[in-house]
Amino acid sequence: MQPVLDIHGLKVLFRVGNTYIRAVEGVDITVGEGESVAIVGESGCGKSVTGLACMKLLAQQNAVYTAKKMTLQTKDGHVHDLLSESENGMLALRAEQIAMIFQDPSTFLNPVMTVGEQMDEVFLYHPGAVTQEDGKAAHKLSRDEAKRLSLEQFRRVGIPDPEMRYKQFPHELSGGLKQRILIAMATACKPRLLIADEPTTALDVTIQAQILDLITTLRRESGMSLLMITHDLGVVRAVAERCYVMYCGKIVEHGYVRDILEHPLHPYTKALIDTVPGLDDRVERFVQIPHNVPHPSQKPSGCFFSNRCAFCTGICQSAMPPLREPVPGRQTRCWFDKEELWEK
Amino acid sequence: MKRYYAQKLISAVFVLFIIITLNFFLPRMMFDDPAQPYYAGVPEDAYALRQEIREANGFNDPLIVQYGAYLGRLFTLNFGTSYIYKEPVFQVMFSRIPWSLVITLTSMVVSVIVGILIGAYVGKRREMTADKVLLGFSTVTTAIPSFWLALVSIMLLAFIIPIFPYRGAMTPGYTLGFHTIPFLVVFLLFIAAAIALRIILRKSIFLFTVIPAGLLVALLVAVPPADVLDVLYHAALPLIVVIFGSCISYSLLVRNSMIAVTSEDYILTARAKGLPPRVVLYKHTFRNALLPLITNVGMSLSGLIGGSVLIEKIFSWPGMGQLLLEATNNGDYLLSQAILLLFAILTITFNLITDLVYHKFDPRVTRA
């Protein structure tokens, strides 16, 4: 079956001066229809860049990206090649087929426009997505029609007193409300795929749960697929069915969320899981992975994780392991099998 | 909201009061005999006569009584008689204001428009040739003082290639024709139109565009075309000098703020919504990028009437800057007092207006 998003061998390079920094090095990601997939990894592993690349939103001048394949299947079943799609073509795909919400709701809303105006824009510039539904041809929306749709959309995402909120500016709203507005804008045209780039990172814990619930509810209602980008394993467990673990611009492990969280295959995944403190752990120090994520221009030779890996051996430092499939349906980028490692 | 307006208004009135007070005491501290301007023609040794003049003009009263009388005169716009011009100060001052405006208003309008165009063009092309040229150029132009540029421009464009006059505002012997009634009629019509548009279409933008345009049209109607051309011909050199400096600095301001805003997160949101690039540029980037420009223009509005002392001196331009210089040099303190007071009132008023209008463009300021 044709997946909604099908990425094969995506590479993203950033030009800095005369050199190139490799942010993403050959990533394969698929998201099926109605499926919820997570990309998990530390800051700087390339997960956000991957999300932006799917939207073709990386700054044009200094980002270069190539892929063997990067396709998006739209609602009418048409398969678009995102790589060759023109900027004009992308304008129609964004919001209508593929939408994105971001990390910090307070900086991602325009401070000098009311949230209502910002919401209206989505409808005003994508009239086809809302007026074509009942079989009629698309027509331009009047401001009043856009406002009516906006208020309806505000209600859908659970914004209390939408009439009042419509007239307010972002700085007059709380973080949770702002994230709801961003979600309202992203899901206004009922896109095929929603990319959520750490949508709960800047929110406090109770609001986090509400926002995750909202995303799940919206997904159930419209059957849209979700690509959740996060560093939070709790979020992964709460919303995702399948999960990619990313490290230094490469996928290091892939499989169903439950399998990965309960029986990690890759030492990096295991280390990530070990760092999550439990409520009844009585420890002196939180577990941590030694050192930092290497800068993209100073990745170690061989396996990128070798300098931080507890199980590193000679071969790890000399050659990058391939993505193997030791168990059907699960992939890992490590020279060793789980049993060999965990027994050490 | 009302509280915000009230606070701003009260602090403006308070500052104004302090300035008026200082303006009263300063000459009394600077001069041995503050009655000097009233002695016109009275010899040094005519002590009795001088004493009489002092008595008649209230200089022998206690300071506090004088201060009260001074405040009273201010409210009736009676600033006394100018020592050098032998005319009421109010009249002398207001005959100079239009001349300053010719230079300052024209140069400001031109350089803001040019600044926005260049700044926006370059701001979209960061680190490309146009950007490097602007940056390099601005380093040079900010280092050039305007009086030096004025002298060089006189040398080049008035002597080596004699195409522009270098002194005065009109050809000697000519005076400016001015029809007051057509001016008032046209200007009032435009003001009425602006207010009507504001009420009908509910867009304040008409107030800021139609009224200045009306002033311009009214001036063109009121002044004979030959005189307009003569004035513009004489204004060419000072205009070139002033515009040259300020349009580069406005360009730089717009360029910097365009670049800062382009990398803001909300621009990414706008693009992720699938908005066409022109909408992202005009509705999102521009609206935010012009905020610093509004502050800057608002601040310099008060300088419009004041003119530029240096430029007016060099080009013998009969504006307010020159007048202030003359008044100071000749100890005509009633005139300089009135000019300084006018500057102070204008500065306070325009800062107040900028403060009050700014929140229309940036709703966040009311929190501060």
Q: What is the DSSP string of B188-206?
A: HHHHHHHHHHHHHH--THH
Residue of A nearest to B125 (CA): A61
Start-to-end CA distance of chain B, whole Å, equals 12
Residue B16 exposed, middle or buried by CB count within 10 Å (0-12, 13-18, 19+): middle
| C-beta atoms surrounding B283 within 10 Å | 18
Answer yes or no: is pLDDT of B305 > 60: yes
**Separation CA B120–CA B278 (nearest Å):** 12
Q: What proportion of chain B, given as a percentage, has pLDDT over 90?
A: 17
Residue A87 exposed, middle or buried by CB count within 10 Å (0-12, 13-18, 19+): exposed
**Separation CA B222–CA B186 (nearest Å):** 9
Interface of A with B (CB under 8 A): 55, 57, 87, 90-96, 99-100, 102, 104, 107-113, 121-122, 125-126, 169, 171, 182, 185-186
Q: How confident is the model at residue B97 (pLDDT cuts 50, 70, 90)?
A: confident
Angle between helices A175-187 and A143-156 (to 10 degrees): 120
pLDDT, tens digit, 9 for 90 and up, residues B46-82? 788 888 888 877 788 888 888 888 888 888 888 888 8
pLDDT, tens digit, 9 for 90 and up, residues A155-171? 999 999 999 999 999 99
B260 touches chain A (CB under 8 A): no
* Chain A residues with beta carbon closer than 8 angstroms to that of B368: none
Q: What CATH number corresponds to the domain at position B127?
A: 1.10.3720.10
pLDDT, tens digit, 9 for 90 and up, residues B1-49? 678 788 888 988 999 899 999 888 887 887 777 777 777 677 777 788 8
Identify which of A90, A91, A107 has the shortest CB distance to residue B265.
A107
* Chain B residues with beta carbon closer than 8 angstroms to that of A49: none
Size of interface A-B (CB pairs under 8 A): 80
Establish if B211 belongs to a structural domain.
no
Identify which of B266, B275, B284 has the shortest CB distance to residue A107.
B266
Are A94 and B288 in contact (CB < 8 Å)? no
Establish if B91 belongs to a structural domain.
yes
Q: How many domains does chain B have?
A: 1
Buried b (16+ CB within 10 A) or exposed e, A286-315: eeebeeebbebeebbebbbbbbbbebbeee
pLDDT, tens digit, 9 for 90 and up, residues B285-299? 988 998 889 888 888
Stretch 283-322 of chain B: residues touching chain A, C-beta under 8 Å: 283-284, 287-288, 291
* Chain A residues with beta carbon closer than 8 angstroms to that of B361: 112
Q: Which two tokens stand for residue B328?
A: 């100071």
> In the beta sheet, which residues pair with residue A247?
A250
Give the residue among A137, A214, A132 at the shortest CA–CA distance from A179: A214
Q: How far is A218 from chain B (nearest CA, A)?
A: 18
Q: Which two tokens stand for residue A99?
A: 């939408």
- Domain hosting residue B164, numbered range: 2-30+77-178+223-367
Q: What DSSP string runs through A48-89?
A: HHHHHHHHT-S-TTTEEEE-SEEEEE-TTSPEEETTT--HHH
Are A108 and B268 in contact (CB < 8 Å)? yes
Residue of B nearest to A112 (CA): B362
Q: Phi first, then psi: give them for residue A43, nearest 5 degrees.
A: -55, 140
Establish if B193 belongs to a structural domain.
no
Q: How confident is the model at residue B368 (pLDDT cuts 50, 70, 90)?
A: very low
Establish if B38 belongs to a structural domain.
no
**CA-CA-CA-CA torsion sign (B93, B95, B98, B99):** negative
Residues in chain B: 368
Answer yes or no: is pLDDT of A138 > 70: no
Q: How far is A148 from chain B (nearest CA, A)?
A: 19
Establish if B311 belongs to a structural domain.
yes
Q: Under a CB-based contact definition with an 8 Å cutoff, are residues A42 and A252 in contact?
A: no
Q: Which two tokens stand for residue B19?
A: 């300035």
Give the residue among A97, A51, A35, A95 at the shortest CA–CA distance from A72: A97
Residue of B nearest to A181 (CA): B269
Q: Under a CB-based contact definition with an 8 Å cutoff, are residues A53 and A10 in contact?
A: yes
Establish if B95 belongs to a structural domain.
yes
Q: How far is B13 from chain A (nearest CA, A)?
A: 30
H-run or E-run covering A327: strand A324-327
* Chain B residues with beta carbon closer than 8 angstroms to that of A122: 273-274
Q: Which pLDDT does position A163 carry in this prediction?
A: 93
More confident residue, B174 or B296: B296
Q: What proportion of chain A, given as a percentage, has pLDDT over 70?
A: 96
CA distance to A133, A309, B93, per residue, from A136 (Å): 7, 59, 69
B360 touches chain A (CB under 8 A): no
* Chain A residues with beta carbon closer than 8 angstroms to that of B273: 94-95, 99, 121-122, 125, 185-186
Within 8 A by CB and 6+ apart from B249, the residues are: B115, B138, B141, B142
Q: Which pLDDT does position B197 carry in this prediction?
A: 87
Answer yes or no: is pLDDT of B181 > 80: yes
Q: Would you give the DSSP letter of residue A196?
A: E
* Chain B residues with beta carbon closer than 8 angstroms to that of A16: none
Establish if B146 belongs to a structural domain.
yes
Q: How is chain B split among helix, strand and coil, in percent rounded to 5?
A: 75, 0, 20
**CA-CA-CA-CA torsion sign (B44, B47, B49, B52):** positive
Q: Which two tokens stand for residue A214?
A: 């909202």
| C-beta atoms surrounding A146 within 10 Å | 22
In chain A, count H helices and then E strands: 13, 13
Query: How confident is the model over A44-58, as a mean pLDDT?
Result: 88
Q: Under a CB-based contact definition with an 8 Å cutoff, are residues A38 and A240 in contact?
A: yes
Name residue A91's amino acid: L
Q: Which pLDDT does position A151 carry in this prediction?
A: 94
Identify which of B269, B274, B291 has the shortest CB distance to residue A108.
B269
Query: Mind spelling out the 3-state secondary structure of A181-238?
Result: HHHHHHHCCCCCEEEEECCCCCCCHHHHHHHHHHHHHHHHHHCCEEEEEECCHHHHHH
* Chain A residues with beta carbon closer than 8 angstroms to that of B363: 111-112, 169, 171
Sort strands A98-101 and A193-197 into parallel, antiparallel or unpaired.
parallel
3-state class of B349 per DSSP? helix
Q: Which pLDDT does position B188 carry in this prediction?
A: 92
Are B363 and A99 in contact (CB < 8 Å)? no
Establish if B342 belongs to a structural domain.
yes
Name residue A33's amino acid: E
Residue bearing tokens 């008026």: B20
Mean pLDDT of chain B: 85
Are A107 and B283 in contact (CB < 8 Å)? no
| E-state strands within chain B | none
Q: How confident is the model at residue A240 (pLDDT cuts 50, 70, 90)?
A: very high
Dihedral angle computed from the Cα positions of residues B309, B315, B319 and B325, in that order, rounded to the nearest 10 degrees = 40
* Chain B residues with beta carbon closer than 8 angstroms to that of A186: 272-273
**Separation CA A229–CA A103 (nearest Å):** 10
Residue B14 exposed, middle or buried by CB count within 10 Å (0-12, 13-18, 19+): exposed
Query: How confident is the model over B250-272, as a mean pLDDT?
Result: 91
Identify which of B276, B288, B363 has the shortest CB distance to residue A169.
B363
Mean pLDDT of chain A: 87
CA distance to A103, A184, A288, B10, B206, per residue, from A230 (Å): 9, 20, 18, 51, 48
Complex confidence, ipTM: 0.89
Q: How far is B364 from chain A (nearest CA, A)?
A: 7
| C-beta atoms surrounding B250 within 10 Å | 25
Q: Which two tokens stand for residue B220?
A: 């063109």
Q: Which two tokens stand for residue B285?
A: 């980037």
* Chain B residues with beta carbon closer than 8 angstroms to that of A99: 272-273
Q: Which pLDDT does position B55 carry in this prediction?
A: 81
**CA-CA-CA-CA torsion sign (B191, B197, B202, B204):** negative
CA distance to B174, B225, B288, B323, per residue, from B219 (Å): 18, 10, 34, 23
Interface test with B, best of A112, A124, A194 (most B CBs within 10 A): A112
Answer yes or no: is pLDDT of A219 > 70: yes
pLDDT, tens digit, 9 for 90 and up, residues B98-133? 888 888 888 888 999 999 999 988 888 877 888 888
* Chain A residues with beta carbon closer than 8 angstroms to that of B275: 91, 121, 125
| C-beta atoms surrounding A162 within 10 Å | 20
Query: How confident is the model over B319-342, as a mean pLDDT?
Result: 87
pTM: 0.81
Q: Which two tokens stand for residue A201?
A: 């990172």
Residue of A nearest to B263 (CA): A59
**CA-CA-CA-CA torsion sign (A308, A313, A314, A319):** negative
Answer yes or no: is pLDDT of A134 > 60: no
* Chain A residues with beta carbon closer than 8 angstroms to that of B264: 107
pLDDT, tens digit, 9 for 90 and up, residues A82-112? 888 888 888 889 988 999 999 888 899 999 9
Identify which of B269, B276, B287 has the shortest CB distance to residue A102.
B269
Residue of A nearest to B124 (CA): A61
